[in-house]
């Protein structure tokens, strides 16, 4: 799940720039959704990421407003940070508004997530992973750092103490059906996870969480086998239906979402009958990976309707 960072990164190198930049009044950073979710800028990076990472890990979410997968991943990270109770901190950085930080990490695609501890990056991944995999990555990170970062254990103990208070919020017990699916994902058994989510939907057709998770796990299984070479193969063989579907998956995995949608809409126009239905269903499944209000999805839906009718 981890991804190598582009080149050596020395986070201390930003200190001089950060200290000379204008900081927010009274050291207040952006409008994070909790004490452990911060909107970070080039100017506040030294304080909010480098210095804070000396106490607990800081998970840096590098995103942009136009990035569809970012809109899937960021809410997942925010929920997990809030649930973590301060054992780690989420730093959200808009790469368009803060290009120096993006350059510092050598960001080549977004979303990219980098874990910083002790002032240095220690792990990273790219792409919008399903929530169970993100949770597993966070857990592994905390387990690896707990012995040498006392702030993790202190935050976990404080969170446990708060939950023991009479007025403390009691966490709702996990749904065993989702737990079974998440366990299957952790084992890498996507078929079992897909079956578990489908079973939930069979019983509750309106369960949005299961529907979104099913789309994610189906794509995750295909994305593991996605090969960028398939894009060239598909371009050379426009009538090869399997090649077009594989190329669209590879393009989405590479965050070339518009190209993937355009490819499948064009394929719908060239096909009919069962082949057209297969391509349409594949495209609609890809739509499910993104928020309904994503402009790329809205445009592709209009183009699909035009191609069909």
Asked about 70 being catalytic, the answer comes back as yes
pLDDT for 167 equals 52
pLDDT for 207 equals 82
pLDDT for 97 equals 92
**DSSP run (H or E) holding 60:** strand 58-63
From CA 50, how far away is CA 59, in angstroms rounded? 11
From CA 57, how far away is CA 141, in angstroms rounded? 8
Please say whether the beta carbons of 119 and 54 come within 8 A: yes
- Within 10 A of 171 (CB to CB), how many other CB atoms are there? 8
pLDDT for 172 equals 60
- Going from the C-alpha of 189 to that of each of 38, 126, 180, 185, the distances in angstroms are 34, 21, 11, 6
Could you give the 3-state DSSP secondary structure of residue 279? helix
Q: Which of 40, 43, 49, 70 is catalytic?
A: 70
pLDDT for 169 equals 53
Please, what is the angle between helix 229-236 and helix 241-253, to 10°? 140
Asked about 197 being catalytic, the answer comes back as no
pLDDT for 30 equals 35
Please say whether the beta carbons of 105 and 114 come within 8 A: yes
pLDDT for 63 equals 93
Q: Which of 67, 115, 141, 297 is catalytic?
A: 67
pLDDT for 5 equals 37
pLDDT for 173 equals 65
> Which residues of the chain fall short of a pLDDT of 50?
1-33, 168
pLDDT for 13 equals 41
């Amino acid at each position: 799940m981890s991804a190598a960072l582009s080149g050596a990164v020395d986070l201390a190198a930003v200190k001089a720039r950060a200290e000379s930049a204008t900081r927010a009044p009274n050291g207040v950073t952006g409008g994070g959704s909790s004490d452990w979710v911060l909107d970070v800028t080039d100017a506040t990076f030294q304080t909010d990421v480098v210095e804070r990472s000396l106490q607990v890990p800081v998970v840096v979410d590098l995103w942009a407003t136009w990035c569809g997968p970012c809109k899937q991943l960021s809410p997942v990270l925010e929920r997990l940070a809030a649930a973590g109770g301060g054992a780690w901190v989420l730093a959200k950085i808009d790469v368009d508004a803060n290009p120096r930080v993006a350059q510092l990490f050598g960001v080549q695609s977004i979303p990219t997530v980098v874990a910083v501890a002790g002032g240095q990056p220690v792990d990273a991944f790219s792409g919008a992973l399903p929530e169970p995999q993100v949770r597993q990555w966070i857990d592994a990170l905390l387990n690896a750092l707990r012995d040498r970062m006392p702030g993790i254990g202190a935050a976990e103990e404080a969170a446990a103490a708060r939950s023991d208070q009479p007025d403390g919020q009691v966490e709702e017990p996990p749904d065993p059906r989702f737990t079974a699916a998440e366990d299957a994902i952790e084992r890498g058994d996507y078929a079992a996870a897909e079956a578990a989510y489908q079973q939930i939907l069979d019983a509750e057709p309106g369960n949005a969480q299961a529907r979104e998770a099913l789309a994610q796990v189906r794509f995750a299984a295909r994305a593991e086998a996605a090969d960028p070479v398939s894009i060239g193969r598909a371009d050379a063989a426009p009538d090869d239906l399997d090649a077009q579907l594989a190329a669209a998956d590879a393009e989405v995995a590479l965050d070339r979402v518009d190209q993937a949608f355009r490819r499948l809409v064009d394929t719908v126009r060239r096909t009919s009958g069962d082949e057209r239905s297969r391509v349409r269903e594949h495209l609609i499944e890809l739509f499910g990976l993104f928020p309904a209000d994503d402009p790329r999805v809205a445009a592709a839906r209009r183009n699909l309707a035009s191609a069909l009718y």
